[in-house]
Structure 1
Amino acid sequence: MMLDLKGKKALVTGGGTGIGRGIALALAEAGSDVVVHYGKNAAGAEEVVNEIKNMGRQSLAVQGDVLKREEIETFVKQTADFFNQRIDILVNNAGHMVERSSVEEMSEELWHKVIDVNVTSTFLVSKFMIPFMKSSGGRIVNMSSLAAHNGGGPGASAYSASKAAVIAFSKGLAKELAPHSISVNNVAPGFIGNTPFHDTFNTKEGRENAVKGIPLQRAGVPEDVAGAVLYFVSDLGSFITGETIEINGGAFMR
Protein backbone atom coordinates (compact mmCIF):
# COMPACT_ATOMS: atom_id res chain seq x y z
CA MET A 1 0.00 0.00 0.00
CA MET A 2 1.26 3.44 -0.91
CA LEU A 3 0.53 7.08 -0.35
CA ASP A 4 0.74 7.86 -4.05
CA LEU A 5 -1.80 10.17 -5.67
CA LYS A 6 -0.14 10.43 -9.05
CA GLY A 7 -2.74 11.15 -11.73
CA LYS A 8 -5.51 11.94 -9.24
CA LYS A 9 -7.65 15.04 -9.70
CA ALA A 10 -8.71 17.05 -6.64
CA LEU A 11 -10.76 20.07 -5.63
CA VAL A 12 -10.11 21.81 -2.32
CA THR A 13 -12.61 24.47 -1.29
CA GLY A 14 -11.16 27.36 0.65
CA GLY A 15 -7.75 26.23 -0.54
CA GLY A 16 -6.02 29.60 -0.65
CA THR A 17 -5.18 29.97 3.02
CA GLY A 18 -4.79 28.21 6.35
CA ILE A 19 -5.79 24.57 6.58
CA GLY A 20 -7.07 24.51 3.01
CA ARG A 21 -3.73 25.73 1.71
CA GLY A 22 -1.92 23.02 3.66
CA ILE A 23 -4.23 20.35 2.26
CA ALA A 24 -3.94 21.56 -1.34
CA LEU A 25 -0.14 21.58 -1.20
CA ALA A 26 0.01 18.16 0.50
CA LEU A 27 -2.20 16.63 -2.19
CA ALA A 28 0.06 18.07 -4.87
CA GLU A 29 3.20 16.85 -3.13
CA ALA A 30 1.68 13.34 -3.13
CA GLY A 31 1.13 13.55 -6.89
CA SER A 32 -2.37 14.96 -7.37
CA ASP A 33 -3.41 17.76 -9.69
CA VAL A 34 -5.39 20.29 -7.65
CA VAL A 35 -8.03 22.94 -8.33
CA VAL A 36 -7.92 25.58 -5.59
CA HIS A 37 -11.24 27.22 -4.78
CA TYR A 38 -11.41 30.57 -3.01
CA GLY A 39 -14.09 32.99 -1.93
CA LYS A 40 -12.33 36.35 -1.63
CA ASN A 41 -8.60 35.66 -1.31
CA ALA A 42 -7.61 35.57 -4.97
CA ALA A 43 -3.97 36.42 -4.25
CA GLY A 44 -3.65 33.55 -1.77
CA ALA A 45 -5.25 31.07 -4.16
CA GLU A 46 -2.98 32.10 -7.03
CA GLU A 47 0.05 31.73 -4.78
CA VAL A 48 -0.98 28.16 -3.95
CA VAL A 49 -1.66 27.44 -7.63
CA ASN A 50 1.83 28.65 -8.56
CA GLU A 51 3.41 26.49 -5.85
CA ILE A 52 1.52 23.46 -7.16
CA LYS A 53 2.55 24.17 -10.75
CA ASN A 54 6.16 24.45 -9.62
CA MET A 55 5.84 20.84 -8.41
CA GLY A 56 4.96 19.83 -11.97
CA ARG A 57 1.24 19.39 -11.27
CA GLN A 58 -1.75 20.90 -13.01
CA SER A 59 -3.60 23.53 -11.03
CA LEU A 60 -6.26 26.19 -11.41
CA ALA A 61 -7.87 28.77 -9.11
CA VAL A 62 -11.68 29.01 -9.17
CA GLN A 63 -13.79 31.55 -7.35
CA GLY A 64 -17.24 31.23 -5.84
CA ASP A 65 -19.31 32.25 -2.83
CA VAL A 66 -20.27 29.02 -1.04
CA LEU A 67 -23.38 30.76 0.24
CA LYS A 68 -24.71 30.95 -3.32
CA ARG A 69 -25.96 27.81 -5.04
CA GLU A 70 -25.38 29.07 -8.58
CA GLU A 71 -21.76 30.04 -7.84
CA ILE A 72 -21.06 26.61 -6.35
CA GLU A 73 -22.49 24.94 -9.42
CA THR A 74 -20.32 27.16 -11.62
CA PHE A 75 -16.99 26.46 -9.91
CA VAL A 76 -17.70 22.73 -9.75
CA LYS A 77 -18.35 22.78 -13.51
CA GLN A 78 -15.12 24.74 -14.06
CA THR A 79 -13.27 22.08 -12.08
CA ALA A 80 -14.86 19.25 -14.05
CA ASP A 81 -14.04 20.94 -17.35
CA PHE A 82 -10.43 21.48 -16.28
CA PHE A 83 -10.09 17.79 -15.39
CA ASN A 84 -11.93 16.44 -18.44
CA GLN A 85 -15.08 15.52 -16.46
CA ARG A 86 -13.36 13.25 -13.91
CA ILE A 87 -12.69 14.19 -10.31
CA ASP A 88 -11.19 11.78 -7.79
CA ILE A 89 -10.92 13.84 -4.60
CA LEU A 90 -13.12 16.48 -3.01
CA VAL A 91 -12.11 18.25 0.19
CA ASN A 92 -14.95 20.40 1.55
CA ASN A 93 -12.75 22.68 3.61
CA ALA A 94 -14.51 26.03 3.17
CA GLY A 95 -16.37 27.19 6.27
CA HIS A 96 -16.55 29.94 8.87
CA MET A 97 -17.73 30.84 12.34
CA VAL A 98 -18.88 34.21 10.93
CA GLU A 99 -19.03 35.80 14.38
CA ARG A 100 -19.39 34.85 18.02
CA SER A 101 -22.82 35.39 19.54
CA SER A 102 -24.82 34.08 22.47
CA VAL A 103 -28.04 32.31 21.59
CA GLU A 104 -30.01 34.99 23.43
CA GLU A 105 -28.56 37.73 21.25
CA MET A 106 -28.17 35.78 18.01
CA SER A 107 -30.29 36.83 15.05
CA GLU A 108 -31.97 34.23 12.88
CA GLU A 109 -29.99 35.66 9.97
CA LEU A 110 -26.69 34.87 11.71
CA TRP A 111 -27.89 31.37 12.64
CA HIS A 112 -28.82 30.55 9.05
CA LYS A 113 -25.62 32.06 7.67
CA VAL A 114 -23.44 29.89 9.94
CA ILE A 115 -25.42 26.77 9.06
CA ASP A 116 -25.33 27.60 5.35
CA VAL A 117 -21.61 28.36 5.13
CA ASN A 118 -20.66 25.14 6.92
CA VAL A 119 -23.39 22.57 6.27
CA THR A 120 -25.35 23.69 3.22
CA SER A 121 -22.18 24.44 1.30
CA THR A 122 -20.86 20.94 2.07
CA PHE A 123 -24.14 19.48 0.84
CA LEU A 124 -24.22 21.53 -2.37
CA VAL A 125 -20.58 21.10 -3.38
CA SER A 126 -20.92 17.36 -2.80
CA LYS A 127 -24.22 17.23 -4.69
CA PHE A 128 -22.78 18.88 -7.79
CA MET A 129 -19.52 16.94 -7.58
CA ILE A 130 -20.95 13.41 -7.28
CA PRO A 131 -21.73 12.91 -11.01
CA PHE A 132 -18.06 13.51 -11.84
CA MET A 133 -16.84 10.98 -9.25
CA LYS A 134 -19.08 8.01 -10.04
CA SER A 135 -17.16 6.78 -13.07
CA SER A 136 -14.02 5.89 -11.16
CA GLY A 137 -15.03 6.04 -7.52
CA GLY A 138 -13.57 8.78 -5.38
CA ARG A 139 -12.93 10.22 -1.96
CA ILE A 140 -14.77 13.01 -0.19
CA VAL A 141 -13.35 14.53 2.97
CA ASN A 142 -15.44 17.01 4.93
CA MET A 143 -14.32 19.48 7.58
CA SER A 144 -15.80 19.17 11.05
CA SER A 145 -14.27 20.52 14.27
CA LEU A 146 -13.50 19.76 17.90
CA ALA A 147 -16.38 22.18 18.56
CA ALA A 148 -18.77 19.51 17.25
CA HIS A 149 -17.98 17.49 20.38
CA ASN A 150 -17.43 20.09 23.11
CA GLY A 151 -19.65 22.98 21.99
CA GLY A 152 -16.74 25.30 21.26
CA GLY A 153 -15.89 28.48 23.11
CA PRO A 154 -18.18 31.34 24.13
CA GLY A 155 -20.65 32.34 21.42
CA ALA A 156 -19.93 29.31 19.22
CA SER A 157 -23.19 27.37 19.59
CA ALA A 158 -24.26 27.85 15.96
CA TYR A 159 -20.79 26.94 14.70
CA SER A 160 -20.66 23.86 16.93
CA ALA A 161 -24.09 22.74 15.76
CA SER A 162 -23.07 23.16 12.13
CA LYS A 163 -19.91 21.12 12.57
CA ALA A 164 -21.81 18.35 14.35
CA ALA A 165 -24.26 18.35 11.45
CA VAL A 166 -21.38 17.86 9.01
CA ILE A 167 -20.46 14.62 10.79
CA ALA A 168 -24.02 13.29 10.62
CA PHE A 169 -24.41 14.38 6.99
CA SER A 170 -21.18 12.61 6.08
CA LYS A 171 -22.33 9.33 7.62
CA GLY A 172 -25.52 9.41 5.60
CA LEU A 173 -23.70 10.35 2.42
CA ALA A 174 -21.13 7.60 3.03
CA LYS A 175 -23.90 4.99 3.01
CA GLU A 176 -25.49 6.52 -0.07
CA LEU A 177 -22.26 6.59 -2.11
CA ALA A 178 -20.69 3.32 -0.96
CA PRO A 179 -22.26 1.36 -3.87
CA HIS A 180 -20.37 3.69 -6.21
CA SER A 181 -17.05 3.04 -4.41
CA ILE A 182 -16.97 6.63 -3.17
CA SER A 183 -15.90 7.06 0.44
CA VAL A 184 -16.93 9.97 2.65
CA ASN A 185 -15.02 10.84 5.81
CA ASN A 186 -14.35 13.78 8.12
CA VAL A 187 -11.45 15.49 9.77
CA ALA A 188 -12.15 17.37 13.01
CA PRO A 189 -9.33 19.78 13.89
CA GLY A 190 -8.88 21.22 17.33
CA PHE A 191 -6.60 24.22 17.91
CA ILE A 192 -4.64 24.72 14.69
CA GLY A 193 -2.32 27.70 15.03
CA ASN A 194 -1.13 30.12 12.35
CA THR A 195 -4.53 30.23 10.65
CA PRO A 196 -6.85 33.19 9.99
CA PHE A 197 -9.61 31.44 11.96
CA HIS A 198 -7.92 31.63 15.35
CA ASP A 199 -6.30 34.99 14.60
CA THR A 200 -9.82 36.34 14.01
CA PHE A 201 -11.88 34.64 16.70
CA ASN A 202 -9.43 34.14 19.60
CA THR A 203 -7.39 36.57 21.64
CA LYS A 204 -3.68 36.05 22.19
CA GLU A 205 -4.44 35.00 25.78
CA GLY A 206 -7.13 32.63 24.56
CA ARG A 207 -4.74 31.02 22.10
CA GLU A 208 -2.10 30.58 24.79
CA ASN A 209 -4.63 29.01 27.17
CA ALA A 210 -5.83 26.67 24.44
CA VAL A 211 -2.32 25.32 23.95
CA LYS A 212 -1.91 24.78 27.71
CA GLY A 213 -4.93 22.48 27.63
CA ILE A 214 -3.51 20.24 24.90
CA PRO A 215 -1.80 17.08 26.23
CA LEU A 216 0.83 17.18 23.48
CA GLN A 217 1.64 20.73 24.59
CA ARG A 218 1.64 22.41 21.21
CA ALA A 219 -0.74 23.96 18.75
CA GLY A 220 -1.54 22.00 15.64
CA VAL A 221 -0.40 23.14 12.21
CA PRO A 222 -2.21 22.84 8.85
CA GLU A 223 0.10 19.98 7.89
CA ASP A 224 -1.31 17.91 10.77
CA VAL A 225 -4.75 18.14 9.19
CA ALA A 226 -3.35 17.54 5.71
CA GLY A 227 -1.77 14.29 6.87
CA ALA A 228 -5.14 12.91 7.94
CA VAL A 229 -6.68 13.95 4.62
CA LEU A 230 -3.91 12.14 2.74
CA TYR A 231 -4.66 9.00 4.74
CA PHE A 232 -8.33 9.11 3.77
CA VAL A 233 -7.77 9.79 0.07
CA SER A 234 -4.90 7.36 -0.52
CA ASP A 235 -4.83 3.57 -0.66
CA LEU A 236 -4.05 3.60 3.06
CA GLY A 237 -7.67 4.52 3.80
CA SER A 238 -9.37 2.51 1.09
CA PHE A 239 -11.63 0.51 3.48
CA ILE A 240 -12.75 3.43 5.65
CA THR A 241 -15.92 5.45 5.18
CA GLY A 242 -18.25 7.42 7.44
CA GLU A 243 -15.50 8.04 9.99
CA THR A 244 -13.97 11.10 11.66
CA ILE A 245 -10.33 11.60 12.59
CA GLU A 246 -9.85 13.87 15.61
CA ILE A 247 -6.81 16.15 15.17
CA ASN A 248 -6.40 17.93 18.47
CA GLY A 249 -3.26 16.74 20.25
CA GLY A 250 -5.31 14.82 22.82
CA ALA A 251 -7.61 17.69 23.82
CA PHE A 252 -10.57 15.43 23.07
CA MET A 253 -10.35 11.65 23.12
CA ARG A 254 -13.23 9.37 22.13
Structure 2
Amino acid sequence: MTMKLTVKPDNSPVMLVTGSAKRIGAAIIGAAHEQGYRVIIHCHNSQQQAQELADDLNNIRSASAAVVTADLALVNDDSSLHQFVQTIIATFGQLDVLVHNASRFYPTPVGRIGYDQWDELILTNAKAPLLLSQALLPYLQVQHGCIISLLDIHAHDKPFNGYTVYNMAKAAHRMMVQSLALEMAPHVRVNGVAPGVNILPDTNSDQALDSELQQNVTNSIPLQRIGTPEDIAQCVLYLVQASYITGEIIAIDGGRGLTLAGNGH
Protein backbone atom coordinates (compact mmCIF):
# COMPACT_ATOMS: atom_id res chain seq x y z
CA MET A 1 0.00 0.00 0.00
CA THR A 2 1.46 3.35 -1.00
CA MET A 3 0.32 6.96 -0.86
CA LYS A 4 1.34 9.02 -3.86
CA LEU A 5 0.71 12.53 -2.57
CA THR A 6 0.50 14.16 0.85
CA VAL A 7 -1.13 17.56 1.06
CA LYS A 8 -2.01 20.11 3.70
CA PRO A 9 -5.62 20.16 4.90
CA ASP A 10 -7.99 23.07 4.37
CA ASN A 11 -11.67 23.63 5.10
CA SER A 12 -13.19 21.88 2.09
CA PRO A 13 -14.82 18.45 2.56
CA VAL A 14 -12.99 15.23 1.68
CA MET A 15 -14.33 12.30 -0.36
CA LEU A 16 -12.77 8.86 -0.76
CA VAL A 17 -13.95 6.75 -3.70
CA THR A 18 -12.74 3.17 -3.91
CA GLY A 19 -11.78 1.90 -7.34
CA SER A 20 -11.82 5.39 -8.80
CA ALA A 21 -8.98 5.53 -11.32
CA LYS A 22 -11.35 5.22 -14.29
CA ARG A 23 -14.90 4.75 -15.52
CA ILE A 24 -17.69 5.43 -12.98
CA GLY A 25 -15.32 5.96 -10.06
CA ALA A 26 -13.34 8.59 -11.96
CA ALA A 27 -16.57 10.35 -12.96
CA ILE A 28 -17.59 10.58 -9.29
CA ILE A 29 -14.16 11.93 -8.38
CA GLY A 30 -14.35 14.54 -11.14
CA ALA A 31 -17.85 15.68 -10.22
CA ALA A 32 -16.96 15.97 -6.52
CA HIS A 33 -13.78 17.88 -7.30
CA GLU A 34 -15.73 20.30 -9.49
CA GLN A 35 -17.98 21.01 -6.50
CA GLY A 36 -15.00 21.88 -4.31
CA TYR A 37 -14.19 18.57 -2.66
CA ARG A 38 -10.72 17.36 -1.94
CA VAL A 39 -10.64 13.85 -3.32
CA ILE A 40 -8.82 10.61 -2.55
CA ILE A 41 -8.51 8.33 -5.55
CA HIS A 42 -8.16 4.70 -4.48
CA CYS A 43 -6.84 2.13 -6.91
CA HIS A 44 -5.25 -1.31 -6.94
CA ASN A 45 -3.90 -2.13 -10.40
CA SER A 46 -4.71 1.11 -12.24
CA GLN A 47 -1.96 3.21 -10.71
CA GLN A 48 -1.03 5.11 -13.87
CA GLN A 49 -4.61 6.16 -14.61
CA ALA A 50 -5.11 7.17 -10.98
CA GLN A 51 -2.02 9.34 -10.93
CA GLU A 52 -2.90 10.97 -14.25
CA LEU A 53 -6.35 11.80 -12.89
CA ALA A 54 -4.86 13.26 -9.70
CA ASP A 55 -2.35 15.31 -11.69
CA ASP A 56 -5.11 16.75 -13.87
CA LEU A 57 -7.18 17.71 -10.84
CA ASN A 58 -4.22 19.21 -8.99
CA ASN A 59 -3.46 21.32 -12.06
CA ILE A 60 -6.99 22.72 -11.76
CA ARG A 61 -6.74 23.26 -7.99
CA SER A 62 -3.48 22.76 -6.17
CA ALA A 63 -3.23 20.09 -3.45
CA SER A 64 -6.80 18.90 -3.94
CA ALA A 65 -6.35 15.28 -5.06
CA ALA A 66 -4.35 12.33 -3.79
CA VAL A 67 -3.86 8.70 -4.76
CA VAL A 68 -3.89 5.75 -2.39
CA THR A 69 -2.95 2.34 -3.79
CA ALA A 70 -4.14 -0.76 -1.95
CA ASP A 71 -5.57 -4.23 -2.45
CA LEU A 72 -8.90 -4.22 -0.59
CA ALA A 73 -8.10 -7.75 0.60
CA LEU A 74 -6.32 -5.83 3.36
CA VAL A 75 -9.63 -5.88 5.24
CA ASN A 76 -8.78 -9.51 6.08
CA ASP A 77 -5.94 -8.32 8.32
CA ASP A 78 -6.57 -5.97 11.23
CA SER A 79 -3.12 -4.42 11.11
CA SER A 80 -3.28 -3.72 7.36
CA LEU A 81 -6.78 -2.28 7.67
CA HIS A 82 -5.67 0.00 10.50
CA GLN A 83 -2.71 1.19 8.42
CA PHE A 84 -4.99 1.89 5.46
CA VAL A 85 -7.36 3.94 7.62
CA GLN A 86 -4.45 5.95 9.03
CA THR A 87 -3.18 6.61 5.50
CA ILE A 88 -6.61 7.83 4.41
CA ILE A 89 -7.00 10.19 7.36
CA ALA A 90 -3.41 11.46 7.15
CA THR A 91 -3.95 12.46 3.52
CA PHE A 92 -6.20 15.47 4.25
CA GLY A 93 -6.80 15.20 8.01
CA GLN A 94 -10.48 14.22 7.77
CA LEU A 95 -13.06 12.22 5.84
CA ASP A 96 -16.55 13.47 5.01
CA VAL A 97 -17.77 11.03 2.33
CA LEU A 98 -16.95 7.40 1.67
CA VAL A 99 -18.06 6.00 -1.71
CA HIS A 100 -17.92 2.24 -2.23
CA ASN A 101 -17.36 1.85 -5.96
CA ALA A 102 -14.70 -0.86 -6.29
CA SER A 103 -16.23 -4.06 -7.62
CA ARG A 104 -15.47 -7.23 -9.54
CA PHE A 105 -18.03 -8.44 -12.07
CA TYR A 106 -17.96 -11.65 -14.08
CA PRO A 107 -20.19 -14.70 -14.62
CA THR A 108 -20.19 -17.72 -12.31
CA PRO A 109 -22.34 -20.39 -14.01
CA VAL A 110 -23.65 -23.09 -11.70
CA GLY A 111 -21.42 -26.12 -11.97
CA ARG A 112 -18.29 -24.01 -12.32
CA ILE A 113 -18.45 -21.93 -9.13
CA GLY A 114 -15.24 -22.25 -7.11
CA TYR A 115 -13.87 -20.90 -3.87
CA ASP A 116 -11.71 -18.30 -5.61
CA GLN A 117 -14.66 -16.71 -7.42
CA TRP A 118 -16.71 -16.76 -4.24
CA ASP A 119 -13.96 -15.13 -2.19
CA GLU A 120 -13.17 -12.43 -4.77
CA LEU A 121 -16.75 -11.42 -5.57
CA ILE A 122 -17.88 -11.42 -1.95
CA LEU A 123 -14.76 -9.50 -0.89
CA THR A 124 -15.09 -6.64 -3.35
CA ASN A 125 -18.88 -6.37 -3.41
CA ALA A 126 -19.80 -6.97 0.24
CA LYS A 127 -17.04 -7.73 2.75
CA ALA A 128 -14.68 -4.82 2.00
CA PRO A 129 -17.48 -2.22 1.95
CA LEU A 130 -18.72 -3.38 5.35
CA LEU A 131 -15.34 -3.53 7.07
CA LEU A 132 -14.15 -0.25 5.55
CA SER A 133 -17.37 1.45 6.68
CA GLN A 134 -16.85 0.14 10.19
CA ALA A 135 -13.19 1.16 10.31
CA LEU A 136 -13.81 4.68 8.99
CA LEU A 137 -16.98 5.30 10.99
CA PRO A 138 -15.34 7.28 13.83
CA TYR A 139 -13.94 9.80 11.35
CA LEU A 140 -17.20 10.07 9.42
CA GLN A 141 -19.06 10.65 12.69
CA VAL A 142 -16.85 13.61 13.53
CA GLN A 143 -17.79 15.24 10.22
CA HIS A 144 -21.44 14.11 10.30
CA GLY A 145 -20.59 12.56 6.97
CA CYS A 146 -22.12 9.92 4.76
CA ILE A 147 -21.52 6.67 2.90
CA ILE A 148 -22.70 6.00 -0.65
CA SER A 149 -22.63 2.49 -2.11
CA LEU A 150 -22.68 1.59 -5.79
CA LEU A 151 -25.07 -1.36 -6.13
CA ASP A 152 -26.89 -2.86 -9.13
CA ILE A 153 -30.50 -3.06 -10.28
CA HIS A 154 -29.94 -6.84 -10.42
CA ALA A 155 -29.34 -6.95 -6.66
CA HIS A 156 -33.04 -6.84 -5.83
CA ASP A 157 -35.57 -9.34 -7.22
CA LYS A 158 -34.11 -9.40 -10.75
CA PRO A 159 -31.01 -11.64 -10.69
CA PHE A 160 -28.62 -11.47 -13.60
CA ASN A 161 -28.69 -14.90 -15.24
CA GLY A 162 -25.40 -16.80 -14.84
CA TYR A 163 -24.00 -14.38 -12.23
CA THR A 164 -25.21 -16.04 -9.03
CA VAL A 165 -22.25 -15.12 -6.82
CA TYR A 166 -22.19 -11.51 -8.02
CA ASN A 167 -25.94 -11.24 -7.48
CA MET A 168 -25.60 -12.62 -3.96
CA ALA A 169 -22.73 -10.27 -3.13
CA LYS A 170 -24.55 -7.16 -4.37
CA ALA A 171 -27.71 -8.24 -2.55
CA ALA A 172 -25.68 -8.46 0.66
CA HIS A 173 -24.25 -5.01 -0.05
CA ARG A 174 -27.76 -3.66 -0.54
CA MET A 175 -28.80 -5.00 2.86
CA MET A 176 -25.63 -3.50 4.34
CA VAL A 177 -26.77 -0.06 3.17
CA GLN A 178 -30.15 -0.42 4.82
CA SER A 179 -28.75 -1.96 8.01
CA LEU A 180 -25.99 0.61 8.48
CA ALA A 181 -28.42 3.44 7.78
CA LEU A 182 -30.24 2.40 10.95
CA GLU A 183 -27.18 1.66 13.03
CA MET A 184 -25.10 4.70 12.06
CA ALA A 185 -27.91 7.24 12.41
CA PRO A 186 -28.19 10.04 13.32
CA HIS A 187 -24.61 11.18 12.70
CA VAL A 188 -23.78 9.27 9.50
CA ARG A 189 -26.16 8.77 6.57
CA VAL A 190 -25.90 5.68 4.35
CA ASN A 191 -27.47 5.43 0.88
CA GLY A 192 -27.03 3.52 -2.35
CA VAL A 193 -27.09 4.08 -6.10
CA ALA A 194 -28.13 1.17 -8.33
CA PRO A 195 -26.94 1.56 -11.93
CA GLY A 196 -28.57 -0.17 -14.85
CA VAL A 197 -26.67 -0.08 -18.14
CA ASN A 198 -24.59 3.00 -17.42
CA ILE A 199 -21.39 1.87 -19.04
CA LEU A 200 -20.69 -0.90 -21.54
CA PRO A 201 -17.89 -3.44 -21.11
CA ASP A 202 -14.58 -2.54 -22.73
CA THR A 203 -14.53 -3.53 -26.39
CA ASN A 204 -11.43 -5.65 -25.87
CA SER A 205 -12.79 -7.54 -22.86
CA ASP A 206 -14.39 -10.96 -22.74
CA GLN A 207 -17.62 -9.20 -21.72
CA ALA A 208 -17.77 -6.99 -24.84
CA LEU A 209 -21.14 -6.65 -26.60
CA ASP A 210 -21.44 -6.70 -30.38
CA SER A 211 -23.31 -3.88 -32.14
CA GLU A 212 -26.54 -5.88 -32.49
CA LEU A 213 -26.61 -6.73 -28.80
CA GLN A 214 -25.83 -3.13 -27.88
CA GLN A 215 -28.81 -2.00 -29.95
CA ASN A 216 -31.03 -4.62 -28.28
CA VAL A 217 -29.95 -3.35 -24.87
CA THR A 218 -30.67 0.25 -25.89
CA ASN A 219 -34.11 -0.74 -27.19
CA SER A 220 -34.90 -2.36 -23.83
CA ILE A 221 -34.40 0.94 -21.98
CA PRO A 222 -37.46 3.22 -21.83
CA LEU A 223 -35.31 6.34 -22.19
CA GLN A 224 -33.72 4.73 -25.27
CA ARG A 225 -30.10 5.39 -24.44
CA ILE A 226 -27.22 3.84 -22.55
CA GLY A 227 -26.51 5.70 -19.35
CA THR A 228 -23.23 7.42 -18.60
CA PRO A 229 -20.84 7.47 -15.64
CA GLU A 230 -21.80 11.12 -15.22
CA ASP A 231 -25.43 10.09 -14.60
CA ILE A 232 -24.21 8.05 -11.64
CA ALA A 233 -21.93 10.81 -10.39
CA GLN A 234 -24.80 13.32 -10.39
CA CYS A 235 -26.88 11.04 -8.17
CA VAL A 236 -23.99 10.38 -5.79
CA LEU A 237 -23.46 14.12 -5.34
CA TYR A 238 -27.19 14.62 -4.81
CA LEU A 239 -27.25 12.00 -2.04
CA VAL A 240 -24.19 13.54 -0.41
CA GLN A 241 -26.04 16.85 -0.16
CA ALA A 242 -29.50 15.46 0.70
CA SER A 243 -29.29 15.79 4.47
CA TYR A 244 -32.68 14.19 5.22
CA ILE A 245 -32.21 11.02 3.15
CA THR A 246 -30.79 7.81 4.58
CA GLY A 247 -31.33 4.13 3.86
CA GLU A 248 -32.48 4.85 0.30
CA ILE A 249 -31.34 3.15 -2.91
CA ILE A 250 -31.92 5.07 -6.14
CA ALA A 251 -31.96 3.25 -9.47
CA ILE A 252 -30.19 5.16 -12.25
CA ASP A 253 -31.26 2.96 -15.15
CA GLY A 254 -33.33 4.99 -17.61
CA GLY A 255 -36.40 3.03 -16.49
CA ARG A 256 -34.96 -0.34 -17.46
CA GLY A 257 -35.85 -1.87 -14.10
CA LEU A 258 -39.52 -1.42 -14.95
CA THR A 259 -39.27 -3.91 -17.83
CA LEU A 260 -36.34 -6.08 -16.78
CA ALA A 261 -36.94 -9.80 -16.41
CA GLY A 262 -33.46 -10.47 -15.11
CA ASN A 263 -32.61 -12.99 -17.81
CA GLY A 264 -29.62 -12.30 -20.05
CA HIS A 265 -28.34 -8.79 -20.85
Are the structure 2 counterparts of residues 126 and 139 from structure 1 closer, same or farther at C-alpha, using a change threshold of 3 Å? same
Q: How far apart in 2 are the matches of 1:206 and 1:72?
A: 42
Deviations 1:25-58, CA, capped at 9 Å, x for gaps: 0000011000000010001111221222123151
Whichever of the two has the greater Rg, that structure is: 2
Matching of residue 189 in structure 1 with residue 198 in structure 2: no
Contact 1:16 1:45 in 2 (8 A): yes
**1:28 to 2:37 alignment:** no
Q: Deviations over 1:198-239 (max 9, x none)?
A: 9552422443322221111111110000000000111xx110
- Contact persistence 2:27–2:233 (CA under 8 A): yes
Distance 1:135 1:53, change over 3 A: same
Contact kept, 8 Å, 2:201 with 2:209, in 1: the verdict is: no
2:215 paired with 1:208: yes
More moved, 189-198 vs 136-145: 189-198
Name stretches of at least 5 consecutive residues in structure 1 with no aligned partner.
1-5
- In 1, the alpha carbon distance for the partners of 2:35 and 2:135 equals 25
Classify 1:210/1:199 alpha carbon distance in 2 versus 1 (closer, same or farther; 3 Å).
farther
Matched with 1:120 is 127
Structure-1 separation of matches of 2:22 and 2:81? 19
Give the TM-score normalised by structure 2. Answer: 0.86
Which of 230, 239, 249 is the equivalent residue of 2:254?
249
Matched, 1:172 2:164: no
Distance apart, 1:76 and its partner CA: 2.8
Q: How far does the alpha carbon of each residue in 1:164-219 deviate from its partner, in whole angstroms, 9 at most, with x for none? A: 1111111111111113x210000000111256499552422443322221111111
Q: What residue number does 2:141 align with?
A: 134
**Structure 1: which amino acid aligns with 2:193?**
V
State whether residues 148 and 192 of structure 2, in contact with CA within 8 Å, keep that contact through their aligned partners in structure 1.
yes
Identity of aligned residues (%): 32
What is the rounded CA distance, in whole Å, between the counterparts of 1:137 and 1:72 in structure 2?
Answer: 22
The within-5 A match list for 1:41-52 is: 41-52=46-57
1:81 maps to 90
User: Structure 1 residue 109 and structure 2 residue 116: aligned?
Assistant: yes
SS in 2 for 1:101: coil
Task: Compare 160-169 and 199-208 and name the one that shifted more.
Answer: 199-208
What RMSD, in angstroms, separates the aligned Cα atoms of the two structures?
Answer: 2.0
Give the TM-score of the pair, scaled to structure 1. Answer: 0.89
Question: Is the 1:64–1:72 Cα contact (8 Å) retained in structure 2?
Answer: no
How far, CA to CA, are the matches of 1:74 and 1:103 in structure 2? 38
1:92 aligns with 2:86: no
**Number of corresponding residues:** 243
8 A contact 2:152–2:193 mirrored in 1: yes
In structure 1, how many angstroms separate the alpha carbons of the residues matched to 2:155 and 2:74?
24
